[in-house]
Amino acid sequence: MRAVIQRVSEAICKVDDAITGEIGLGFLVLLGVEDTDTEEDTQWLAQKITGMRVFGDENGLMNKALADVDGKILLISQFTLFAQTKKGNRPSFIKAARPDKTHRDLGWV
């Protein structure tokens, strides 16, 4: 798995002008799933992301995690994080999980 994590004050995801997800303070996470990822990988990454102390405390230091600020996560699937671009001009996504790999496969249900 690969994740790009952005701390946000708010984030909105729209598909065809319809809002499919929105949050206030928290993380916008672009998540790429590899075909070999397991439920254990999912659990490790979830703990890593939620435990990141990147929110300011009363002294202005980044000492608070997501739960400390009642933050939320907007998670967006992003298979392009596994693009292989070394050869040619057409990226290969051979390492990315196939679209039919379900949430159930990764223990997300």
Domain of 24, in residue numbers: 2-102
CATH number, domain containing residue 70 = 3.50.80.10
In a domain? residue 75: yes
In a domain? residue 107: no
In a domain? residue 109: no
pLDDT per position as a tens digit, 48-101: 999 999 999 999 999 999 999 999 999 998 888 887 777 878 777 777 777 665
pLDDT for 106 equals 57
- Which residue of the set 20, 38, 50, 80 is catalytic? 80
Counted domains in the chain: 1
Q: Which residues are within 8 A (CB) of 35 and not within 5 positions of it... i.e. 6 or more apart?
A: 95, 96, 97, 98, 101
In a domain? residue 45: yes
In a domain? residue 48: yes
Q: How far apart, in Å, are the Cα atoms of 53 and each of 13, 61, 73, 108?
A: 24, 10, 14, 24
In a domain? residue 40: yes
Does the pLDDT at position 6 exceed 90? yes
- Kindly report the pTM of this predicted structure: 0.80
In a domain? residue 24: yes
Query: Would you call 80 a catalytic residue per the annotation?
Result: yes
Q: How far apart are CA 32 and CA 53, in angstroms?
A: 22
